[in-house]
Structures are given as C-alpha cells and as structure tokens.
Amino acid sequence: MKLGFSPEDETFRAECATWLQAQMAGPFADIKGIPNLVTKVERRKEWEQQLAAHKWSCIGWPEEWGGRNATLAQQVIFAEEYARAGAPGRINHIGVELAGPTILAFGTEEQKARFLPGIAAGTQIWCQGYSEPNAGSDLANVRTKARLEGNEWVVNGQKVWTSLAHFSDWIFVVARSVEGSKGPKGLTFLMMELNQPGIEVRPIRQINGDAEFNETFFTDARCPADSLIGEPGDGWRVAMGLLAFERGVSTLAQQMGFRNELDGIIAAAKANGMAKNAVIRQRIAKAEIGLRLMRYGALRMLSNTDLTAIDGAALTYKIQWATWRRDLGELAMDVLGQAGEIADGEHYEWSMLPNLFLFSRSDTIYGGTNQIQRNLIAERGLGLPREPRGDL
Amino acid sequence: MEFVFTEEQTMIAETVRGFFVENASSERTRKAMEGEGIDRALWSAFCTELCLSGIGVPEEMGGAGLGLLELAIVAESAGAQVAAIPLLGHAMVARALVAGGSAQQQAHYLPRLIAGEMIAAYAAAPAVEDKDGAINAVAQFVAHGAAADLFLVASGDRAWMVERGAEGVMVEGHVTMDQTRPLATLTLSGATGELLADGAAGVAAAEQAGWLVLSAEALGAAQQALDTTVAYAKERVQFGRAIGSFQAYKHRLADIMVAIEQARSAVYWAGCAVDEGSDEATLALHAAKAFCGDTAFMAAGNMVQLHGGIGFTWEHDAHLYFKRARSILSMLGSSDWHRQQIAGAILGDAA
C-alpha cells in the first residue's frame, strides 16, 4: 500500500501541469477559475477544442479515437493538475465522461465512427436525459415514450434537470419503448440531436439565480432507427453501465475544486478575524479532515482492482462528498456573516462562497438523493432487506 | 496507484483477524476484565506464537520489521474484538526505544518486550524532577499501568525508562470504566530511572504509534459494532418485518458505514504517511485520531441503541465496545484537541 505515484507518473504529472498552467496563464487566462458552468460558454468551447488539438481532451480513450490510452493513474493525475491549474469545468463533461465511454463500451463500430471524433474534438456537446418530473431518484418510473415508425424513432414526453441542454448539440434519452411495460423493463436508450423542431429546451432558474439545468420537451421528436445503444428495451442495462462511469476519475478533479472552495473559506476567515473563533476553527479542521479522507477514499476506490467485490469506498462516496460540500457551504456563510448575504452586482450574482452555499443544496439531490444513497448502502453494502415498495 | 493492501498485508490482516476472532472471545475478555484487564495467555500467544509483537521494530534490533501500516492492521483486528492485551503501551514504548533509545537501551529492553516477557506502559507526567537519576514524578491515567513491568515516563522532550521493581515506584490501579484497559496512577519518589538517549525523538515516535494504534483499534471496533448490529437487524422481527427493512433503522446503519469507510481511509493514510516519511504524517495522525475516535463512539452508541433493551445489558457485548470507544476518545488527546492541532497548522495561532 502506497500513497504516492510512480516516478514515470510524476514525469507525466510535470508534463501536463506545465502545459495546463501555461494555457491558464496565457491564452485562456480570461476563463481561469470560473466557478459555474454557464459563464463564457463560447470561450470555454474554444478551450475544449484547444485541449483536443493537443490530445488532452479525453486521454483515457483509445488512441484511434483521439485519446492517449492513458492509465487510470495518469487520468487521475491529469484530472488533479487540470483542477489545480484553475482550468474551468468542462462544458462537455457529459460527452467525454459519460456518452463517449458508453458508446465505446456498448456502441456499434458505425456509432463510434459517427460520434466519438466530434466528442473528442470538443465540437459536439452532450447532455443527458434521464430524470423526469415523476422519475427522479425512481428512474425506473420513466414515462417518456419512444415508438418506431418506419426507419425513425418518434419520442414524446418530458425530461427535467437536463444540465447544460441549452448549450448542447446531442442528448441521450432513456425512453419507454414497450407499450404497457413497467419499471426497468421496456426502456430504450436513444441518442438524439437536440436542434430539431420536436425538441424544446427551457432553462430552469435555480436557487442561486443561474440556469444550468433545463426542462426538455419532446413532441414527436425524431431520430434514425439506428440511434439506439444496445437493443430496444435494453436501455436500463445501458443506463446503469453509464452511471458506473460517473464515479470514475473525475472525483479527484472535483476534489481540487473543493480544495479551492475550502481555501477560499480559510482566506475569508483569516481576513475577517473568524479564524480566531474556536468553534469556526473546529469546523474548518473538520472540513480539512473530510476533504483529505475523500481523497484517500477515492484513491482506495480507484486502486481497487477486484471489481467483483462490493467496494465500500465507492458505494459511500456520493453521500460523503455531497454532505461534506453542503456542510462546507454552511460553514462559508457562518464565516462570512452578513457580508455573505450581499450579492456581487446589480443582478443576482454571487461570488464563489455564497454561490457554493446555494448551489450545494443540489449536491444532496442530483445523482441519487442522500436518502436513496442510504438505501443503496444499506441494501447493497450491508445486505439489509429492501424497503417494501408500493407500486411493483 | 497502489493504495490497496499488498498480498503480504492481506495475509497479515487475515491471519491476525483469525487469531483474535478465535482467541479473544467474549468469555476470555470478560475473564480478563475481572482481573488486571489483560488476557496473559492471549498476549503471550500473540508475542511468541504469532510473532507479531516485533512489528514496527527493525529486524536488526530483533524485531519483525515492517511498518506502522502493519501495526495498524494488527491493532484494527485487536480492536475489533476489544482484545484485553497491552498492545498500546507495548507499541508506544517499543517505537520510542527504536527512535530514541541508545544501542544499549535497545539491546536491553527490546528483546524482552518482543518476547512478551515485559509489559510496557506509557506514562505521561506533567512535571518530572530528576536528581542524578533519582526521579520524582506523578503520572495519571496510565493504561495497563498496574500490570506493567516497564514504564516510559515522558515529559516534554525528555523520557525515562523506569522499571516496576525499582525502589520508589508506586502504582495504584483504578477500577476503570473500560475494564479491558484499566488505568493506574504511577508515583515515583526518588525512583531509579534512566534517561532515554534521545527523548524528543522517543516521545514523538511513541505518540505517533499511540495515535495510530488507537485510531486503528477504533476502526476495528466501529466495524465490528456495525457488523454485529447488521446481523441483529436481519434476524430481529418486529411488526412482522425484519427491523433492518425499516428506513429509520437502515439509514442509521448506512451512515455508520459511510463514516467507517472514511475512518478506514484515515488509518491507512496515516500508516502509509508515517512509513513513507511524508510531510503529511502529523496531519494524517491528528485526522485519524479525531475521526476514528468519533466514528467508533458513534458506531458503538448506535450499537447499544439499535439493539434495544438487550443492548443495555451487561450480558451483551455492546457495552464493551461502547466503553472502549469512550476511552479511546479521551486517551492521547481528545478529538477536539487533535482538530485544534490541525486548525493551528492551517489557520495559525488562535490568540
């Protein structure tokens, strides 16, 4: 058991750190350190194309599809250095981390050739259509319908919490394609072009005033018959495979962002004297401990090669970070005091820490609420009996 | 990326786990609680049959080599069974000798400690008066002090080896809440002691070992408290259902597992950080002691609560875990104190 990385990996770290820092100090200094995903979108697309031009866009992918075939350790290192350099969150996170790997794992050769180059190049932005007004954590309750008409799928229904749909080119949709089917059976996983008459994207203004999420309406929206991944009715398996990608190496990058937020709190506390308050000192120490333990938990999770065993570190990671970050937001406000209640400008604009406080209320909801996470942990991790269900 | 056990570490973990599960049974622990709080046969087997008392001591000093991570693996399994053994004092004093003892001190004491012929205890004294080797001091709350043959009396950056049999050594054992590790008061009145060659290094090494052993014990105890409660949740039926199917119940167990996974990361992080000489080692040890102590107490408190009435009885083992966890919280710095050290490093002085 070792904390560190190999000398070869550290050489790789130096290589990517040098490049990333030069970019953020030079041509892309104007987008360094942006805390949300909705500011300067066009510049950020240019940044992602710059990444692609230097083969940094999706380093874990095979070389034939624009990647570097990077090892897991290298992916971790790149993610860490990316965040450390202050490079902004990836607009095409869904494309690179979720859609691409799903197409690589489950797609046909034609689909790989059709989609992967655009995702790798940063010219094809993706979002995901999972949740619905009545199917959030209960994803199997999806009601959006897809029916095959000739050589096209015709889709009707509504998705919600489609992050960044208003900036995206493609969406993958989990829809019910078997009439009368229930639960996880009868779902189909479709890839659809967003810019078409049958799809309407309406940004949803969130608790912090930004609109990162959308509701997306499908009214006889269409895609070619071969736009599905896997088989018709097999969408649940694909969707679950995709969720597995979500707990990948991006966790380490996420933690670098958390590090910046905690450092912001520490700086604020030193500046306004709260750093001398005994209770605040305890809470900052707790936050520091929590952050470190997340890092080593993630390293345990990523070092684990026994994929057949239930991995406690992986199973508990979501609730751990979401709860930690929500608490961090509350700590930020207690450190700032009433100064944290004053917006940055004329508009409802928030600097990093008040924005953290507001935005982090979503962390314990999306991607499986804390309550759903506890059920998963109790049932899968501890083998406890399932809660009796009302509808199945 | 190799932040997982090696094959050797997995083997040690399995061996030690098996040893303590088989031998540190509830019956034997309770028998030890009636007496001096040590299962002498268990400690002797640990030292001479399992040969793990030399972990953390270099082979050239007669030890088993290996590092603090392996020591943590051992302490985790011992903690899981609330084993009544003097591992804490043993590890602290042995590590102090390794780091701060002269060659002669090492040669004199380490073989006997490793063979289980001497039981060692760490005794922190606020003030020590040393008149040419005649020592006056009082050390309170010495773990397993009444049974110890050798004390490491530590004060600031100095430490003395004092043997139980020396003149002027008085030990008063106490009835302690956690009967598996009773406390004692050590009083030295002109007692003969020998300065540890490098007291500062010795005390620092003893503290490192102590914090890590307690953290790992806490991890093991928390995991066992959870496992026992989960087993009960599956078999106990109320209102026509296994109680483990109720959300109010299962969510509490899930929260314990979340904390334990973090505690596990903390212990292995701290062990590796010390072994690798990382500059994060001190931070990691403070983090581990604070987080693991809190986690063990939370898990053991829930163990009592979630067992209902039976969990409150002397007959059930829940109270052994509850009391051990409570004692870990107090020993070698409270969770608040350890977090204060971290806050000091991040934020500077409070004043």
Under DSSP, is residue A5 helix (H, G, I), strand (E, B) or coil?
Answer: coil
Q: In this predicted structure, what is the pLDDT of residue A265?
A: 98
For chain B, say whether A373 makes contact (Cβ under 8 Å).
Answer: yes
Q: In the predicted model, what is the mean pLDDT of chain A?
A: 91
pLDDT mean over B171-183:
98
Contacts with A282 from chain B: Cβ below 8 Å = 336, 339-340, 343
Number of other CB atoms surrounding residue B257 within 10 Å: 23
For chain A, say whether B49 makes contact (Cβ under 8 Å).
Answer: no
Beta bridge partners of B159: B154
For chain A, say whether B230 makes contact (Cβ under 8 Å).
Answer: yes
Under DSSP, is residue B143 helix (H, G, I), strand (E, B) or coil?
Answer: strand
Which tens digits make up the pLDDT trace of A181-212? Answer: 888 899 999 999 999 999 999 999 999 998 88
Which tens digits make up the pLDDT trace of A248-281? Answer: 677 777 888 899 899 999 999 999 999 999 999 9
Which tens digits make up the pLDDT trace of B37-46? Answer: 999 999 999 9
The answer to whether the CB atoms of B250 and A292 lie below 8 A apart is: no
For chain A, say whether B244 makes contact (Cβ under 8 Å).
Answer: yes
pLDDT mean over B251-269:
98
Q: In the predicted model, what is the mean pLDDT of chain B?
A: 97
Give A9-29 as a DSSP string: HHHHHHHHHHHHHHHHHTTTG
pTM metric for this prediction: 0.94
The percent of residues above 90 in pLDDT, for chain B, comes to: 98
| pLDDT of A246 above 60 | no
- Identity of the residue in A76, A293, A386 whose CB atom sits nearest the CB atom of B262: A293
CA-based torsion, B251, B255, B258, B261: positive or negative: negative
CB-CB contact of B110 with B122 (8 Å): no
pLDDT mean over A234-241:
84
Q: In this predicted structure, what is the pLDDT of residue A38?
A: 81
Q: Which pLDDT band holds residue A244 (cuts at 50, 70, 90)?
A: low
Catalytic residue among A8, A246, A341, A346: A246
Cα separation, A12 vs B116, in Å, equals: 49
Contacts with A331 from chain B: Cβ below 8 Å = none
This complex has an ipTM of 0.96
Contacts with B226 from chain A: Cβ below 8 Å = 382
Which residues numbered 46-75 in A keep a CB inside 8 Å of some CB on B? 72-73
For chain A, say whether B269 makes contact (Cβ under 8 Å).
Answer: yes
Contacts with A373 from chain B: Cβ below 8 Å = 254
Q: Would you call A289 exposed, middle or buried from its count of C-beta atoms within 10 A (0-12, 13-18, 19+)?
A: buried
Which phi and psi (to 5°) does residue B169 adopt?
Answer: -100, 120
Which phi and psi (to 5°) does residue B150 adopt?
Answer: -140, 130
A246 catalytically annotated: yes
Give A243-299 as a DSSP string: HHHHTSTHHHHHHHHHHHHHHHHHHHHHHHSGGG-HHHHHHHHHHHHHHHHHHHHHH
- Identity of the residue in A278, A289, A316 whose CB atom sits nearest the CB atom of B291: A289
CA-based torsion, B86, B87, B91, B92: positive or negative: negative
